[in-house]
Amino acid sequence: MVKSRRVFTREFKVAAVKELESCKQLGYVARQLEVSANTLHRWRREFKEQPTKAFSGQGKRMLAEGREAQLERKIGQLTMENDFLKKLLVSFEEQQAGGNGAEPFTRRSTKKKTK
């Protein structure tokens, strides 16, 4: 199973740095936020170097691309399932036609018109 990379918003990162600055222990904050201590160190360093420009990346864009890829995989999966079911239906129709001498199953009505 492929582990996807988590994406954090700027607000989340700033809040994490503020937690560290409020004299809470690094390990405690890391466990609470489920983020590694090294990541918190990096975020704190980036925030101290340039508070206004820190975390200006396009985090949401990666999330959108991931969603797009997920939907494409789902389309592929559904296409494969449809193809399988179509083949199964053809096989079933052939069995019905050959087994008891009846007409093959069709989607059209079998009622005969009377005049």
Contact between 20 and 29 (Cβ < 8 Å): yes
Distance CA 14, CA 4 (A): 23
pLDDT in tens, 94-110: 998 876 555 555 666 55
pLDDT in tens, 22-80: 988 989 999 999 999 999 999 999 899 888 878 876 555 555 667 788 889 999 999 99
Mean pLDDT of 4-30: 88
Give the pair of three-digit tokens for residue 49.
Answer: 């170097």
Q: What is the pTM of this model?
A: 0.46
- Cβ neighbors of 62 (< 8 A, separation 6 or more) are 5, 7
**The predicted structure's pLDDT at residue 91:** 93
**The predicted structure's pLDDT at residue 38:** 93
Contact between 10 and 59 (Cβ < 8 Å): yes
